[in-house]
Chain A
Amino acid sequence: MPLQLLAALALPWLAALALFALPNGRRNTAAAIAGGATLLAAGLLAMQGPAVFAGDVPRFSWPWLPFEGAGFGLRVDGLAWTFAMLVLGIGALVVLYARYYLSADDPMARFYALFMVFMGAMLGLVLADNLLLLVVFWELTSISSFLLIGYWQDRADARRGARLSLTITALGGLALLAGVLLLGSIVGSFQLDAVLAAGDTVRAHPWYAPTLLLILLGAFSKSAQFPLHFWLPQAMAAPTPVSAYLHSATLVKAGVFLIARLHPTLAGTDLWFYVVSLTGLATLLTGAYIAMFQHDLKGLLAYSTISHLGLITLLFGLSTPLATVAGVFHILNHAAFKASLFMAAGVIDHETGSRDMRRLHGLWRYMPLTAVLAIVASAAMAGVPLLNGFLSKEMFFVETLQLGSRPLLAAAIPVLATVAAAFSVAYSLRFIHDVFWNGEPVGLPRKPHDPPFWMLVPIGTLAALCLLVGILPALTVGPLLAVTATPVVGGTLPDYSLAIWHGFNLPLLMSMLALFVGVALYFMLQRLFRLHDLVHLPRGGREVFDATVAAAVRGSRALIDLLVNGSVQRSVLLITLAALALGLWTVFATQPAAVPLPVAATSAGPVAWTLWLLTLCSLAALIVRHRERLEALVYLGVVGLAVSLTFGALSAPDLLLTQLLVEVASILLLLLALNFLPRRSSRTDPPARRWRDAGLALGAGVGISTLVYAVLSRPRPDSLAPWFLENAIPGAFGTNAVNVILVDFRAFDTLGEITVLGLAAVLVAALLPRLRTAATVGTPGAGSEAGRSLMLEITSRVMLPLTALVAVWFFLRGHNLPGGGFIGGLVLAIGLLLPYLGSGVDWVEQRSKPRFEAWIGWGLACATVTGLVSLALDHPFLTSAYLAPVLPVIDKVPIATAMFFDLGVFLTVAGAAALALTRLGRLSGAPDDGGRT
């Protein structure tokens, strides 16, 4: 049932939403929501079990971004099903455990909310049927694990560990994304079915090597493979339930899951063999060796996890069918014993207040139940017979002996595997012997005892599983292993028998040897080398990482110091220089291909010459007289007028209107501002600098002129213009193509632009004092009683309704003739300013206090709702429709729904412009120094 799949995936996310809303004090409710959601999801997935075991692949699919090849689909084959059950099963146990582990001070609801987010991401990762979707969930696991590792955010080591793990796994995620994109383009699809079926094509493709290496980089970073393993021990700063979950069954397993998932597609070449198996071997040995010297319980488990992940990777690298089965088997076994060991370590920490194996001794007498469970789990980790770890390790040994075709490795790998196994026995023994025997506890803060019953249940469940699988493998785990491993092997399963006893053979000998050597090694380290005095701090990855980060920070600081020293003039200078340099570089460095012949120039009429002369004269005057500010404004206004007339002369009536209105509004703003600024600029720039700036300005001007002329004298390339012209009437029901683009074809852009406009106006209102300052009251000025012109006062009162009428007229005709929301809004705003100028602030505010902020809000709401309506009617956001309601009296009224969008534009523009203008207008009663409050 496809919907059950979707529900199973959605449940953790819904639980997370509920938990984010829950107060942190509701501890039991929080745990119940998290546990309930997990169990329910597990139940829904379990219902798929019979189908999966019968060889079916239940699916759910929904087109997400179909044109990009990214579908939102779920696909449950054996591998995905087992991993999903692992994620949910161990998740449920950890939820129970965490309820008792976290103290009353820890924000419980937040913990479970983040936990559920992580679980949802992990579930999505294993169930995704599309590589792009898989990458999305992959990144979500990186982010949510960052938040979980840094859960105790007031601790520096937690923050550092979280940052480190995010950096490494997110960088790996980028590599994975690149690899997946390559893989998708080789296969021609991102769907897992297609990718899994295209193994031969992929392996023969010239891009195979980069694709493989990028994907492996992603997997290795996540699974803490050497030399990227160093983030995992740092992540032990997380609360122990997080470690138990992330570092046994889920996060680090995502990497090996990916290797297993893509095994049929990517494996089978020498490159795969050497890269994967040698990385795995290096990780196996490094992790196991360092683990022996850790004094911290969780540190030991962390390095042991690294080592076991190396073992799994090595098995997938060997890539024979049986090695692959062994790898899958070890993933399951490791999840069971490592989760229980982490939880046992957490119990010890919780009950004794310490995780230091140099102080924890003889706990057998104080916490016997914990001891028994921990012993079972560590024995599984060490690979002792009758436990699950023994079986997969035995299969591993068998496989190390099958490398006949590669003589060097055939000799080295079995030996190194036995050595690593001996290390593993040594650190497992240390975990038990040091903590539960080896003398009396040293300076513990409190007398230890067994934890609450419910804290032992999860550990006990997993320990029992280790035993059950170890004793009766074929009965318990046999079918599950078969169904899980089939898609990884990519075909039919090899013959293998899950039994404890295969007779006396070489692998058994290796196991026994490892056991004895390991035990001997441990006691030798304790007795001869005083293990507790050895401080073994692994150096390398983390130091390189820290140095890189420090260098990056130093480099950025130096660059900032170089570019920004607090002087605005200098920044403007640098920006201009950079723009010039970039322009010159484009001209000289790129070879403009086959320059077409210049087209014949159109002749310029008297209007063009007049405008040109007007512009140039005003600019010259502006340069000479810019320190006389009032005069400068006049010249600026003339330039603006010339610009708007140019728009008008060149077939852009909408631009003519807009530029004209903005010109009026801008000059009004600048005039109001001049009230508070000196009327003249004093000359401070030395002549040398002025000449330098003039040279620079000349360069910029000549550059732009050349560019414009170069473009205009060449034939027009193909553009989108014909499409807009052809579709204006059939698609958007309007004849004004400019307005149609604004309110229909590119309406989403317009929505963003009016949002910016609204924000800018609110910023203006926020920066200016909200109320008139004391200094402005009763002082003579433009806005107060004394300095008013009767003529202006009367005219402005008459003008307001008239301008409003003109504004509405412009707005209504906009879709078909020049006009529209922008133009109408600007007209209205200027009209609204008139009473302020004519009659003063007091007069206006006695009569009404327009709240222009609300206009902005209503306008934005109107525009957004228009878009949402079309979305609700199953059309893309902001699709236009044509209505022709027949109203009484007026008869048939043609309306495009874009009109409602344009109404939003109208309101926002009017509100924003009026807000900015009137806020400055309110201040205008103040004399020169009135701006200072």
Chain B
Amino acid sequence: MELLLATAIGAITATGVYLALRSRTFELVLGLTLISYAVNLFIFAMGRPVAGRAPILRDGVPTTLEHYTDPLPQALVLTAIVISFAMTAVLIVMALKLREVSGGDHVDGGDPSGDHPTDDDGGPKRGAP
């Protein structure tokens, strides 16, 4: 079971990183969503979850880790899930704004046609001061 959980988290991370490195805003949003899944699962896994020991206290059962899983990572992940939803919303709106301003959906703005030649790093360089 540990192996399955570990490989699944790794696979989600890998897919998330790959998509986040793509040049379109939509893929970036997908990639970051996947990465947040992976991070949430990671934190959750640090509490050594096991089946059938939900941290809902029952009468007559001693309050030890023999009978319940660690509630703290769950509490951390719960708020993280909600916050990552809010960040997804912000990212989407920024992607929409970007399209409104630049006409394209390249992460660096510009390229309304969607088929501009890429240089080394992709996207137009705005140049630093």
A interface list, Cβ under 8 A from B = 557, 560-561, 564-570, 572-573, 576, 601-604, 608-609, 611-612, 615-616, 619, 622-623, 626, 629, 632, 636, 639-640, 643, 646-647, 649-655, 658-659, 662, 665-666, 669-670, 673-674, 676-678, 681-682, 684-686, 689, 693-694, 696-698, 700-706, 708-709, 711-713, 716, 719-722, 724-726, 728-729, 735-738, 740-742, 746, 749-750, 753, 756-757, 760-761, 763-764, 767-768, 816-818, 822, 826, 909, 912-913, 916, 920, 931-933
Contact = CB atoms under 8 A, between A and B. Distances in A.
Nearest to B49: A650
Interface of B: 1-30, 33-34, 37-38, 40-42, 44-58, 63-65, 68-72, 74-75, 77-79, 81-90, 92-97, 99-100, 103, 105-108, 111, 114-116, 118, 121-129
A565 to B, nearest CB: 6
Contact of B14 (A609, A670, A697, A722): A697
Contacts of A669: 88-89, 92
A619 B11 contact: yes
A653 B51 CA distance: 11
A666 B9 CA distance: 20
Nearest to A675: B96
A712 B96 contact: no
27 contacts: A568-B107, A569-B23, A569-B123, A615-B8, A619-B15, A632-B30, A639-B12, A647-B44, A650-B49, A650-B50, A652-B44, A652-B77, A653-B56, A666-B33, A669-B89, A700-B14, A702-B14, A704-B38, A711-B46, A712-B48, A721-B47, A741-B75, A742-B75, A746-B75, A764-B89, A912-B86, A913-B85
A608 B51 CA distance: 11
Contacts of B22: 569, 626, 681, 685, 693
A652 B55 CA distance: 8
A725 B11 contact: no
Contact of A615 (B12, B42, B95): B12
Given A565-B125, A728-B57, A753-B83, A767 B93 contact: yes
Contacts of A643: 12, 37, 40-41
B9 A705 contact: yes
Contacts of B5: 646, 708, 712
A708 B9 contact: yes
Contact of B82 (A697, A712, A753, A933): A753
B13 A767 contact: no
Contacts of B127: 565-566
A684 B49 contact: no
A289 B4 CA distance: 79
A681 B85 contact: no
A725 to B, nearest CB: 4
A31 B97 CA distance: 52
A658 B48 CA distance: 20
Given A576-B20, A768-B93, A931-B100, 4 more contacts: A652-B74, A652-B77, A684-B106, A818-B54
A264 to B, nearest CB: 49
Contacts of B81: 655, 658-659, 662
Contacts of A746: 75
A817 B56 contact: yes
Contacts of B15: 619, 622-623, 697, 701
Contacts of A756: 83, 86
A740 B129 CA distance: 51
Contact of B85 (A665, A684, A742): A665
Counting chain A CB atoms within 10 Å of each CB, the highest count among B29, B81, B114, B116 belongs to B81
A241 B122 CA distance: 59
Contacts of A647: 44
Nearest to B103: A932
Given A622-B19, A701-B10, A655 B78 contact: yes
Given A643-B40, A655-B74, A712-B5, A702 B128 contact: no
A704 B13 contact: yes
Counting chain A CB atoms within 10 Å of each CB, the highest count among B5, B15, B58, B108 belongs to B15
Nearest to A580: B17
Given A676-B99, A677-B95, A708-B9, A565 B14 contact: no
B41 to A, nearest CB: 6
A374 B84 CA distance: 69
A514 B24 CA distance: 81
A295 to B, nearest CB: 40
A916 to B, nearest CB: 4
Contact of A569 (B12, B74, B122): B122
Given A569-B108, A569-B121, A757-B83, A649 B51 contact: yes
A673 B92 contact: yes
A652 B37 contact: no
Contacts of B44: 647, 650, 652, 655
A685 B23 contact: yes
Contacts of A703: 10
Contacts of A666: 33, 85, 88
B10 A702 contact: yes
A708 B13 CA distance: 12
B26 A681 contact: yes
A532 B92 CA distance: 70
A763 B97 CA distance: 12
Contacts of A652: 44, 49, 54, 69, 74, 77
A566 B69 CA distance: 46
B49 A651 contact: yes
Contacts of A738: 55, 71, 74-75, 78
A297 B46 CA distance: 69
Given A567-B122, A651-B49, A682-B114, A737 B99 contact: no
